[in-house]
Structure 1
Amino acid sequence: MDKKTTSRDGTSLAYTVTGQGPTVILVSGAMSTGGTVAPLAQRLADRCTAVVHDRRGRGESGDTAPYAVAREVEDLAALIDAVGGDAALFGVSSGGALVLHAAASGLPVRRAAVYEVPYADHLEGGAAREAAYKEQLGKALGEGRRGDAVELFLRLTGLGEEMIRGARQSPMWAGMEAVAPSLAYDDAVMGDGLLPRDLLAGIAVPVLSVAGGASPEWMRTASREVADTVPQGTHRVLEGQTHMVEPDVLGPVLAEFFAG
């Protein structure tokens, strides 16, 4: 990250800018830094000015207690101001939920796009699962058990126990524990884990909601319902893609939408 700006509460935010064209701020999901969406920024750079940042509590950005979703919306406001006062937003997974909060808040956002925000309305036992995760995550982080918090998140995503044990032995584990406290931030952004219909109904800008054709049916249904609930919604399905979408497939779809 080669640039810095400061959010309203004094938190330092690290970001980079690449490309030319309409400005788009890319928002990563849980357990990730801006580096996760950097390949997508490169894919957009020939048609868009792509802004990649480390969300608060991650990478080269700072953090200021106490956390609130409104503080991360203010972070996006600071970034928009830093890059010219006008931008579109894209968010992946729980980062998409943050983008939808920002779009509903009245920020100067031209358009918003999201990829597979994991609202669990159509996942069997989804509401109960989300509530249990919230309680267990809060306890683990409150007791300083970062590794256990990471394990809880990996189980939530469906990773098997053998793969979780392998992850604990991998070189990546230290980095995962480093950003573990931010899992509480994504949990807050997701609320009760269900589609926030009133919030979405208040979004006044065009919204593109994208899903992978090879993703679970509950996730694809949630993606479609985001588009159906916002007043100016469009839904796209990328055949053969999963939650780990390929930038070369997603990039052209986003570039076309943002250019509009």
Structure 2
Amino acid sequence: MSAVESVVTGAGDRVVFDRHGAAGAPAALFIAGAGPTRADDPVTTETARLLAERGFQALVHDRVGRGESATAGPISLERELDAIAALADSAAAPVVLVGHSSGCAIAMLAAARVERLAGLVLWEAPLGLFTAGAPDWWAGVERHLDAGELEQAVAAYMVDMPPEWLEQLRQSPDYPELVLSWIPDGRALAAVESEGAAASLASLDVPVLAVVGTETFPGMAAAADAIAAAAPHGASEELAGAWHSWDPEAMAARLAVMLEG
């Protein structure tokens, strides 16, 4: 069972989401990385559906500035954190934040705002993987944004990623304006690297699970181990998945174990 709903955040943004399962059941709140809307992310939707079949709740939203949560102009990190807090409140239950890629850094920063936080699951967080470090990388992207050079900003954002990903983005009807909703991702990655993962995780008295796929990019496993070491209740694991995407059945089963407490 799923339903399309919306929340209005403290910043006044309307965020549209799919609620799989019933409000009040233990919940997973998925936080996408740069780019995806829920309409073009079938892996997360299938994972959410499988969790609902197990009696849990799963929330899949269009991040601020994307899809049905569209709004004009640049999106700040603060607005995205407000959205996560509002969505978590709507669950009316304990919530596990499930970050994907740069969404992991956003989840880490949002954790303190979730009153009934039950845990973090962080899939392939790209921390420590930028050639000159995330703060320098993001400063370069921001220089293009400040100059209104959106195509150059997209290219700068994607600099260490597979070139075919950039070519796919260029086919999007939202290119290059889509980069305006990536601002929270870049600022979150830069902030977490600058301050250190422990600054976001050391005070969390909940499980923090850093996960990588069975086929993944160089450095991802080491990044997961570092995250696990920074959290009081941290662990790192390998889960079925390939090239930055998890297997829905495997992820749903692992999330169910965490939601069962």
Query: Which residue identity is paired with 1:13?
Result: V
CA shift at 1:217, angstroms? Answer: 3.8
Match of 1:46 in 2: 53
**Does structure 1 conserve the Cα–Cα contact (< 8 Å) formed by 2:134 and 2:190?**
no
What CA RMSD, in Å, does the superposition of the two structures yield over aligned residues? 2.6
CA shift at 1:62, angstroms? Answer: 4.5
Query: Which residue identity is paired with 1:219?
Result: M
Moved over 6 A (4+): none
TM-score (norm 2): 0.84
1:30 and 2:44 equivalent? no
Report the 3-state secondary structure (helix = DSSP H, G, I; strand = E; otherwise coil) of the residue aligned with 2:245: coil
Structure 1: stretches of 5+ with no match in the other structure = none
Q: How does 1:72-111 map to 2 (within 5 A)?
A: 72-84=80-92, 86-105=94-113, 107-111=115-119
Question: Identity over the aligned pairs, expressed in percent?
Answer: 26
Report the 3-state secondary structure (helix = DSSP H, G, I; strand = E; otherwise coil) of the residue aligned with 2:174: helix
Match of 1:16 in 2: 18
Query: Which residue identity is paired with 1:101?
Result: L
Report the 3-state secondary structure (helix = DSSP H, G, I; strand = E; otherwise coil) of the residue aligned with 1:2: strand
Mapped partners of 2:5, 2:259: distance in 1: 23
Q: How many residues align?
A: 251
Distance 1:72 1:178, change over 3 A: same
TM-score (norm 1): 0.84
CA shift at 1:147, angstroms? Answer: 2.8
Distance 1:254 1:32, change over 3 A: same
Distance 1:149 1:259, change over 3 A: same
Match of 1:182 in 2: 181
CA shift at 1:223, angstroms? Answer: 0.7
Match of 1:237 in 2: 238
CA shift at 1:22, angstroms? Answer: 1.8
Moved more, 39-48 or 8-17: 39-48
CA shift at 1:175, angstroms? Answer: 3.2
Task: Select 2:145's aligned residue among 133, 141, 144.
Answer: 141
Report the 3-state secondary structure (helix = DSSP H, G, I; strand = E; otherwise coil) of the residue aligned with 1:191: helix
CA shift at 1:229, angstroms? Answer: 1.2
Task: Select 1:2's aligned residue among 1, 4, 9.
Answer: 4
